Amino acid sequence: MSLPAKAAAALVLAAALAGCAATNLSPHTGSRLALEEDEKRVWLQAEDGEKRLNRSGLVEESPELDAYLAGVVRKLFPDVPFEFRIRVMRDAGMNAFALPNGAIYIHTGLLARMENEAQLAALLGHEGIHAVNRHAVKGKREMIARSAIFAAVTLGGWGGSLFTMASVTGYHRDLEREADAEGFRRMAAAGYDPSEAPELFRILGRWIEETGVKDPYFFSSHPRVKERIESFESLAAATGGKGIVQRDLFLAKTRDVVLETAGLDLKAGRYESALRGADKFLSIPGDGAKGHFLRGETLRQRNGAGDGEAAVEEYLRAISANASYPEPYRALGLIHYKKSDKVEARRYLERYLLLNPGAPDRPYVEGYIRASQ
Amino acid sequence: MRRIPIVFFLLLVAGGCAATPRKPVWVPAEGAFAAPKSGYSVVLPAGWTRVNREERLLITRDGSSLQFIGVATYKVGTPLQHTKKKCEKGMLPQELADILIDDIASTGNVASVEVLENAPARIGDVEGFRVVCRIRFKGGLDRKCAFYGAMRGDRVFDVYYTAAARHYFDRDLGVFEEVARSFRFMPPP
C-alpha cells in the first residue's frame, strides 16, 4: 500500500470510529446530566450564545408567555435532566431553533401563524429532541469525521468531493428526520392530537408559497416540506386517535404575538400578511381596538381601490372598541387634515393629544392643529 | 439614484463594495460637493474623506465602521430596499419619516429601532423632517442615526448620519448638522 493510500485508510478508520462515537451517544434522559468533554465545550458555547441572544433586544419580555411555553415543553419532556427555556424572538419569519443546552427560540412569525397548542407541541417536540438527543455534539463529531473522510478521499485520489458533500447533507437530514419522528412520539405520548403535526408543516408550506422565501432557516437542510407533511401524515395515521388540541388557551396566550407580527408585516409593507394577522387578532376574544387600528393603517397605507374608506371605518371601529385608545384619533385627524377638512382634523388631533399628552409626534400634530385654525 | 439604506451603507463600504466591481477610493472631502443629476449640493467638512464617486456621497472621518454621513435620493413611487412601502406624492413629511424608519426596521440584521426624536424640520428650502434613532443590530452593536428628509418634485432626499452610539455619534453630530444646513437643492439638469 502506498503512503497516501495508508494515510487514507487510517483517516477513513478514524472517521468511522468518530462516526460510531457520535451515533452511540445516548439521549439525555433520567435525573443526572452527564456531558462528555467535547460536549461541555459545546454547552459553554451554547450558554454564551444564549446570553447574547437574550441581550440582543430581539427576545420578547413576556414572563407569562414564557411560563406557558415552558409548561408545554415540560409535558413533552418530563424525563430530562435539564430545564428547557423557551423564548420568543421578535421576527416575522417562520423559524425556530434549539441550542444544545435546552434553550429554544421561536420567532413571533411562527408562533403567530400556529393555530393551537398541539401544533406548538409538534414544534417543541422536534426542537427538544435536538437537545435531548445531543444533535449538536453529534453534528460536531460528524463534521470532524467528514473532514477526515474528505482528506482521505483527496489522498486516495478518488476525486469524490461530491460524495463527501452529499454525505454532509444526508447526515444532517437524518438528524432532522430523527427529531421529526421522536418529537412526534413525544407529542402523541403527551396526549396531543397527532393530526395537528402535519398541519404545522402545511402552515409552513403555505407561508413559503406566499412569501416566495427560498431558504428559510427552519427548512434549510431539513427534509423537504412536502416530504415532511407526508411523513407526519403517515405517523399520524399509524398513531390514530384524537387528543388535546387546546386552541382557545393557545390563542389567548399568543394574542399579543399575533398583533406584533402583523405590525412587523406592516412595517415591511407585507400588507396581505398584516391584514391576515389583524383578522386573526380580532378573532381572538379581547379588546379589538388595536386590531381595528392595525387594519385601518394597513388599508390606508396599501391605498388600493376603496382602501381609504375602509380604513376610516376601521379607525371608527377602533374608537368604538376603546374610546381612550389614542392612535385612531390621530389617523382620522390626518385623513381630514389632508382633505383640508379643518374642523374635523382639529377635533380628532386635539383629542389625540389629550389622550396621549406625551405623544412622540406632538411637534407634527401641533403643527397640523395650528394649520387647521 | 436608488436609495442605499443608511444601515447598509456601512456593509457596502466595509465589504469592499460588493455591489460594484470597483473598490472605493477615498479622497479628501473638504469643500463643495455637487450631484447635479441627483439635484443637490452640500459643503463638506475639513478632515473627513469621501468615497470618490460621482453623484453618490459618503464621507467619514475615522472609517465607515465608526461614522459616516451621506446623501441619498430616490424616486417617488419606487419601493424602498427593505420595506415594500413606497413614498407617494402628497405624503406629509411625518408619513415620509415613518416609511424611512420602517425601512431601517425591516433591514434583516436590525434587531430594533428606537425613535428618539421625530419632528418637522426644513431641509434646503422644503418642509421635511428630522429623525434621531438608536439602531440595535442582531450582532449586539448599537448605532445611532440622524437623518433629514423631504420630498421635492418626484424625489425624496435623505441626508443622514450614522455612528457608533458610544462616543462617536455625539462627537460628530455637530458636523452632520453643518452639512445638513449647507444642503441645497439644484435645478434638474
Kindly list the structural domains of chain B, giving each domain's residue range(s) and its CATH number in brackets, ordered by start.
25-185 (3.40.1000.10)
A98 touches A127 (CB < 8 A):
yes
List CB contacts (< 8 A) between A364 and chain B: 92-94, 118-120
Distances in Å between the Cα of A200 and the Cα atoms of A116, A119, A120, A122, A194 are 10, 6, 8, 8, 11
Distance CA B16, CA B64 (A): 11
Spatial CA neighbour of A124 closest among A97, A92, A91, A101:
A97
pLDDT of B174: 97
Tell which wins on pLDDT, A122 or A140. Answer: A122
List CB contacts (< 8 A) between A51 and chain B: none
Q: How many other CB atoms are found less than 10 A from the CB of residue B188?
A: 11
Is residue A158 predicted with pLDDT exceeding 80? no
Give the Cα-Cα-Cα angle A309, A260, A275 (nearest 5 degrees).
35
Query: If you average pLDDT over every residue of chain B, what do you get?
Result: 86
pLDDT digits (tens, 9 = 90+) for B93-145: 999 999 999 999 998 888 889 999 999 999 998 999 999 999 998 776 789 99
Q: Please answer yes or no on whether B105 and A267 come within 8 Å at the CB atom.
A: yes
Least confident segment among A140-154, A349-363, B117-131, B145-159: A140-154
Q: Please answer yes or no on whether A367 and B83 come within 8 Å at the CB atom.
A: no
Distance CA B136, CA A56 (A): 8
pLDDT digits (tens, 9 = 90+) for B19-54: 445 677 889 999 999 999 999 999 999 999 998 787
Distance CA A289, CA A287 (A): 6
pLDDT digits (tens, 9 = 90+) for A67-105: 999 999 999 999 999 999 999 999 988 889 999 999 999
Share above pLDDT 70 across residues of chain A, in percent, rounded to a whole number: 84
pLDDT of A264: 94
Disruptive mutation site among B92, B100, B103, B113 for chain A (greatest number of A CBs within 10 Å): B92
pLDDT band for A142, please (50, 70, 90 cuts). confident
B106 vs A58, A267, A367: nearest CB? A267
pLDDT band for B68, please (50, 70, 90 cuts). very high
Is residue B72 predicted with pLDDT exceeding 60? yes
CA distance A367 to chain B (A): 9
Distances in Å between the Cα of B113 and the Cα atoms of A57, A58, B94, B120, B162 are 10, 11, 17, 19, 13
Is residue A2 predicted with pLDDT exceeding 50? no
CA distance A165 to chain B (A): 27
Q: In what order do the strands lie in the sheet with A103-107?
A: A85-89, A103-107, A96-98
Is residue A6 predicted with pLDDT exceeding 90? no
Distance CA B70, CA B42 (A): 10
Is residue A159 predicted with pLDDT exceeding 70? no
B4 touches B72 (CB < 8 A):
yes
List CB contacts (< 8 A) between B118 and chain A: 360-361, 364
Rounded to an integer, the average pLDDT of A311-328 is 98
Distance CA A315, CA A324 (A): 13
Q: Please answer yes or no on whether B136 and A303 come within 8 Å at the CB atom.
A: no
Q: How many other CB atoms are found less than 10 A from the CB of residue A333?
A: 26
Q: Please answer yes or no on whether A269 and B94 come within 8 Å at the CB atom.
A: no
Q: Does A361 touch chain B (CB under 8 A)?
A: yes
ipTM of predicted complex? 0.82
Query: If you average pLDDT over every residue of chain A, what do you get?
Result: 85
Q: Which residues contact B33 (CB under 8 A, 6 or more apart)?
A: B41, B42, B43, B44, B50, B57
Rounded to an integer, the average pLDDT of A152-171 is 36
pLDDT band for B189, please (50, 70, 90 cuts). low
Is residue A170 predicted with pLDDT exceeding 60? no
pLDDT band for B5, please (50, 70, 90 cuts). very low
Note the Cα A63 to chain centre separation in Å: 18
Note the Cα A100 to chain centre separation in Å: 17
With an 8 Å Cβ cutoff, the interface of chain B facing chain A consists of 79-80, 82-85, 88, 90, 92-95, 102, 105-106, 111-112, 115, 118-120, 136, 138, 140
pLDDT band for A148, please (50, 70, 90 cuts). low
**Distance, first Cα to last Cα, chain B:** 14
CA distance A268 to chain B (A): 4
Q: Please answer yes or no on whether A269 and B79 come within 8 Å at the CB atom.
A: yes
B85 vs A56, A301, A338: nearest CB? A301
pLDDT of A222: 56
Is residue A5 predicted with pLDDT exceeding 90? no
List CB contacts (< 8 A) between B109 and chain A: none
Rounded to an integer, the average pLDDT of B176-187 is 95
Q: Please answer yes or no on whether B136 and A56 come within 8 Å at the CB atom.
A: yes
pLDDT of B159: 97
- SS3 state of residue A114: coil
Rounded to an integer, the average pLDDT of B53-62 is 88
List CB contacts (< 8 A) between B108 and chain A: none
pLDDT digits (tens, 9 = 90+) for A188-220: 999 999 999 999 989 988 888 877 766 444 544
Q: Does A303 touch chain B (CB under 8 A)?
A: yes
pLDDT digits (tens, 9 = 90+) for A34-69: 888 999 998 999 999 899 888 888 899 999 999 999
pLDDT of B55: 77
Q: Please answer yes or no on whether B102 and A269 come within 8 Å at the CB atom.
A: yes
Least confident segment among A249-253, B73-77, B142-146: B73-77
B140 vs A55, A267, A338: nearest CB? A55
List CB contacts (< 8 A) between B140 and chain A: 52, 55-56
Is residue A300 predicted with pLDDT exceeding 90? yes
B120 vs A90, A267, A367: nearest CB? A367
Disruptive mutation site among B76, B138, B141 for chain A (greatest number of A CBs within 10 Å): B138
Q: Does A339 touch chain B (CB under 8 A)?
A: no
Distance CA A281, CA A259 (A): 6
A134 touches A27 (CB < 8 A):
yes
Spatial CA neighbour of A311 closest among A283, A341, A271:
A271
Is residue A347 predicted with pLDDT exceeding 50? yes
Q: Please answer yes or no on whether B111 and A58 come within 8 Å at the CB atom.
A: yes
Rounded to an integer, the average pLDDT of A136-144 is 84
Rounded to an integer, the average pLDDT of B10-19 is 38
List CB contacts (< 8 A) between A361 and chain B: 94, 118
pLDDT of A223: 61
Q: Please answer yes or no on whether A334 and B92 come within 8 Å at the CB atom.
A: yes
